[in-house]
């Protein structure tokens, strides 16, 4: 049986340039929420030491003991916007407010997998059950990708309506790479959180997707700012979606 998936993130992998920013945001959350703040988790490439200057996000999950109010959300959004202005090396700063009960809920398996496989607790209490193990295979692949129809539809909608073309192109590129990895995982127990490794792993199992996966990686690393180019790119993903439709015909829309 394949080994369980564990997180590659570690505090020692965080580049020193980000530490003042992480300390600043954690302190701001502590000051705003007080004892209602249960934990601060870092997700993504910065925790793995694999970020790309200018094209990586900073994703902080603030786990709180109540459902976030509109005032809470406005505070987080304003802080993220103000902070990003001083950190042009980042594509985006996300300060997500997560109700602790939601993270622990039975239906939040996908969310807990993301925390367990790509998360690093920076401060606070452990919020993940020790009893859950994550094994590469068809069941995990479906858990991670059953929303692929929603992701495609949401991206097309936002590309047509929003001015944040690069942001949404970057996001759908990551989703497409993960979808390809999920399809490969259904046949062989392959897995990686390192985006640059995904095309090679996928091509080894599904060689017919090799060229497409490398083009997706290129768009992920340097997302276009041109709306028409982005829309054409999303349409070019059709072979991937057709394979997913065949594999998971009953997949959920959201």
Q: Give a yes or no: residue 160 inside a domain.
A: yes
161, 194: one domain: yes
Predicted model pTM: 0.79
Establish if 23 belongs to a structural domain.
yes
- Among 93, 124, 155, the domain-final residue is 124
User: How many Å apart are CA 97 and CA 62, to the nearest integer?
Assistant: 5
Q: Residues 84, 171: one domain?
A: no
Q: Are residues 76 and 27 in the same domain?
A: yes
Separation of alpha carbons 18 and 231, rounded Å: 33
Residue matched to tokens 């939040």: 108
User: Distance between terminal CA atoms of the chain?
Assistant: 31
Angle made by CA atoms 157, 159, 161, in degrees to the nearest 5: 70
Q: Domain for residue 181, yes or no?
A: yes
The tens place of each residue's pLDDT in the chain, 254 residues long, gives: 678 888 889 999 999 999 999 999 999 999 999 999 999 999 999 999 988 887 788 999 999 999 999 999 999 999 999 999 999 889 889 999 999 999 999 999 999 999 999 999 999 999 988 778 899 999 999 998 999 999 999 999 999 888 889 989 999 999 999 999 999 999 999 999 888 999 999 999 999 999 999 999 999 999 999 999 999 999 999 999 999 999 998 776 65
69 and 94 together in one domain? yes
Residue 129 maps to a domain: no
Q: Which residue has the tokens 């990708």?
A: 145
For residue 11, the model assigns a pLDDT of: 95
Is 191 part of a structural domain of the chain? Answer: yes
Domain C-terminal end among 124, 156, 187: 124
Q: How high is the pLDDT of residue 253?
A: 64
| Residue 18: how many other CB atoms lie within 10 Å | 19
Give the residue numbers spanning the domain of 59.
11-124
* Domain-embedded: residue 254: no
25 burial type by CB count under 10 A (0-12 exposed, 13-18 middle, 19+ buried): buried
Domain of residue 91, CATH code: 3.30.460.10
* Residue 55 sits in the same domain as residue 120: yes
Does residue 171 belong to any structural domain of this protein? Answer: yes
CA nearest 4: which of 133, 96, 126, 92? Answer: 133
Query: Does any domain span residue 253?
Result: no
Same domain membership, residue 168 and residue 71:
no
The count of domains in the chain is: 2
What does each C-alpha distance from 117 to 42, 75, 113, 158, 231 come to in angstroms? Answer: 11, 28, 6, 28, 31
Interstrand relation of 57-64 and 92-99 (parallel, antiparallel or unpaired): parallel
- Which of 100, 124, 148 is the last residue in one of the domains? 124
């Amino acid at each position: 049986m394949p080994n369980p998936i564990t997180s590659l993130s570690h505090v020692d992998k965080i580049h020193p340039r980000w530490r003042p920013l992480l300390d600043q945001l954690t302190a701001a959350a502590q000051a705003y929420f007080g004892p209602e703040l249960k934990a601060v988790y870092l997700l993504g490439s910065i925790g793995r030491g694999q970020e790309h200057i200018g094209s990586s996000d900073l994703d902080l999950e603030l786990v709180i003991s109540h459902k976030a109010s509109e005032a809470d959300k406005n505070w987080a959004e304003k802080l993220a916007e103000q902070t990003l202005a001083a950190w042009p090396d980042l594509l985006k700063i996300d300060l997500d407010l997560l109700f602790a009960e939601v993270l622990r809920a039975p239906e939040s398996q996908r969310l807990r997998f993301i925390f367990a496989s790509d998360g690093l607790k920076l401060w606070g209490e452990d919020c993940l059950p020790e009893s859950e193990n994550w094994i590469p295979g068809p069941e995990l692949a479906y858990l991670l990708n059953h929303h692929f129809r929603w992701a495609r539809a949401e991206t097309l909608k936002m590309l047509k309506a929003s001015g944040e073309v690069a942001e949404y192109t970057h996001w759908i590129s990551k989703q497409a790479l993960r979808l390809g990895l999920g399809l490969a995982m259904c046949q062989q127990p392959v897995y990686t959180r390192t985006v640059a490794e995904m095309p090679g792993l996928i091509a080894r199992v599904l060689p017919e997707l090799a060229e497409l996966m490398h083009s997706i990686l290129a768009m992920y690393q340097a997302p276009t700012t041109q709306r028409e180019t982005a829309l054409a790119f999303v349409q070019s993903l059709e072979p991937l979606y057709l394979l997913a439709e065949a594999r998971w015909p009953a997949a959920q829309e959201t």
